Chain A
Amino acid sequence: MAKKTGQVVDFASIKAKMSDPYKKTLQVINEKGEIVNQELFDSFSDDQLVGFMKDMVWERALHEQTMNFSRQGRLGFYAPTYGEEASEMGSIAAFKDQDFLFPAYRDLPQLIKHGASVAQGFLWSKGNAVGDDYGDTRNWFPQIIIGAQYVEAAGAALGIKKNGEKDAVSFVYTGDGGTSQGDFYEGINFASSYQAPAVFMVQNNGWAISVPRKKQNAAETLAQKGVASGVPGVQVDGMDVLATYLATKAARDFAAEGNGPALVETLTYRFGAHSSAGDDPSRYRTKEEEKPWFDADPLIRMRKVLTDKGLWSQDQEDKLVEEYKDSFKASMKEAENTPTQSVVDMLKTTFEEPTPQIKADIARFEAKESK
């Protein structure tokens, strides 16, 4: 008689334990604003702490102002970043100018911190090619086909390695939904195969539009998704800017030192809608489900820690928000004063050397556009 399941191979036990090494979520300050890891907290200078808070206030102000512009009909597609300030600002702070960034559509704040202008962010949303013109910076465009940025980041990591660049990595963002894509696995697998310097960020904000994280798969963490490809990962409290920074910096150091790629999962939450184009979260989640996450707001805990240390005040924050919003209004003016492209311009950038068919199209649109 055949042995019962469990006697030959104890899959139940393997399954129960397989997430264990990945469940120790890195945290420095908890949602109440308590320092839970004093040693790590003490590794930051006062200036650094204030810098992180300013970055998060900047990102939230950018979100609020962008939503205003959006309601005024002055923007196109926008993916709200509300709630993900610690995850985005904590991680981007760990990277250097020479690192190659592959963002997705919710990662415009990182793109801006990495050398793009706020006006370009608005222009991208408005559908103006200047929004994607990053000059010599190592920025890539915000990916729409989620997953594609992962395989491309693996390629850039290999390119960086082949270039012999000593202190540079390729880094890339996706979300919890993005980890279900085949390209996610192909990207981490290729970077691992070549031991290329890539840092794979997974911002687990709980939702892929209306589909919750738990429906993406049954693994307890997304950090462990690297295991099968030989890519070490860590789960971090993505509402804690300090923990996010430290985990990301450790991943970057590991990759830049030639040890191969690493993966960071930030546990965060999309406070708002998927996009400004009509998504309504009340269709798929309740206020009760949202509440603990709003209580975990990354700004609340950082504000408390800094206020306790005498480094921050509400008055100071209010002034900053006003300054930031004024600057965003100036950026919007710049965006609105940027000429739109013509069809001719776009035809000219399809190939380096226009084909005869495109030359004919150019002539047709030159005649049309000169009217």
Chain B
Amino acid sequence: MAKLTYIKAITDGLDVVLGEDPKTLIFGEDVGKNGGVFRTTEGLQDKYGEDRVFDTPLAESGILGLAIGLAATGWRPLPEIQFMGFTFEAVDSIGGQMSRNRFRFSGKRAMPITIRTPFGGGTHTAEMHADNLENYFVGTPGLRVVTPANPYDAKGMIISAVENNDPVLFMENLKLYRSMKDEIPEGKYTVPLDTAKVAKEGTDITLVAYSAEVNESLKAADALAKDNISAEVIDLRSLSPIDTDTIFKSIEKTHKVVVIQEAQKMAGVGAQVASEIAENAIMDLDAPIGRVAAPDSVYPWAQVENDWLPNADDIEEKAREILNY
């Protein structure tokens, strides 16, 4: 066991999969000698060689097209898209190509591709470096979309993603990279790709969140606890598919729910969670479904981003509104 940051936990997970499966390949812009612009792949080229960990030309569609061709010839690719905003350049490779190929080939050919990509606000990046674009991808049949909210899950989920035989979009939160540490077991362990986790148990209200908003929800839960309000916090972890059972089970107990996301409100994950609750568990509720999301603007310039991003105060306020309904 060692205390590792979120980013080091991912590096550790990548080390495990490269060591276990000689068919795994890591590639992308700057991932080789430089170890990635955030150092997520630091040391891996030295350890596994340039055949396994290598730089690509600067072209995102090319990177993911490369992944598809490599998978077609027996490899297990782990392409990195340097920032999630850059996936706009590769939407066809994801939505039009790799996610459809199992279906195209009657289930007989697999695309075991794990796309790693950093995202998330609050670190004052340049434009297009922080956007939460999961809303674009969760409606893609054949694609799993996951995002860990802590270092332990980050390592266990990257290993599960790579072992999965379908394409996985693995979203790494920029703000979490170096802001939290967990005790991380050495070597291999896995965390399932399709189950939500109860991050904190509670009885009065359910807060459903993912990625950095899990931490904000935990802070809100602490604030509510001062008034003897017991909030349960659910970390979705998987955005597609969504583990609705864990949510419904919690609501059965609390009868109140707030759905939280950092992304803009229109459509997307929070809307899907809210509609699943409305469709399947509305009789368990005794108040409307609360939602906390970013406003439906373009992701803001750095100087106003902290005002724009949903935070613990917003979550606490919405929770009190639902509790007092």
Contact = CB atoms under 8 A, between A and B. Distances in A.
Given A148-B97, A162-B51, A193-B57, A154 B73 contact: no
A294 interface: no
Nearest to B165: A352
Interface stretch (B105-113, B211-219, B295-303, B316-324): B105-113
Interface string B160-173: 00001110000000
B19 interface: no
Nearest to B27: A158
A145 B92 contact: yes
Sorting the interface of chain B by its residue count into under 10, 10 to 19, 20 to 34 or 35 or more gives 35 or more
A158 B68 CA distance: 11
Contacts of B67: 155
B69 A352 contact: no
Contacts of A348: 107
Q: Which of B64, B65, B71, B93 has the most CB of A within 10 A?
A: B65
B128 interface: no
A148 B223 CA distance: 51
Q: Which of B25, B56, B62, B93 has the most CB of A within 10 A?
A: B62
Given A349-B103, A355-B241, A357-B241, A152 B110 contact: no
B241 A152 contact: no
B66 A154 contact: yes
B66 A155 contact: yes
Sorting the interface of chain A by its residue count into under 10, 10 to 19, 20 to 34 or 35 or more gives 35 or more
Q: Which of B65, B66, B69 has the most CB of A within 10 A?
A: B69
Contact of B142 (A135, A163, A189, A351): A351
A132 B166 contact: no
Contacts, number: 133
B56 A190 contact: yes
Given A145-B97, A152-B65, A355-B241, A189 B59 contact: yes
B104 interface: yes
Nearest to A128: B106
A344 to B, nearest CB: 12
A178 to B, nearest CB: 14
Nearest to B101: A141
A141 B107 CA distance: 14
Q: Which of B59, B66, B92, B166 has the most CB of A within 10 A?
A: B66
Contacts of B164: 352
Interface in B85-102: 92-93, 96-97, 102
B75 interface: yes
Contacts of B194: 355-356
Nearest to A168: B73
Interface string A133-174: 111000011000100101111111111101100000010000
A156 B97 contact: no
Contact of A140 (B57, B72, B96, B241): B72
B281 interface: no
B199 interface: no
A350 interface: yes
17 contacts: A148-B92, A151-B69, A152-B65, A152-B69, A154-B69, A155-B69, A156-B69, A158-B70, A160-B73, A163-B74, A183-B92, A187-B62, A189-B57, A350-B142, A356-B243, A356-B244, A357-B241
Interface of A: 100, 129-130, 132-135, 140-141, 145, 148, 150-160, 162-163, 170, 182-183, 186-187, 189-190, 193, 345-346, 348-352, 355-358
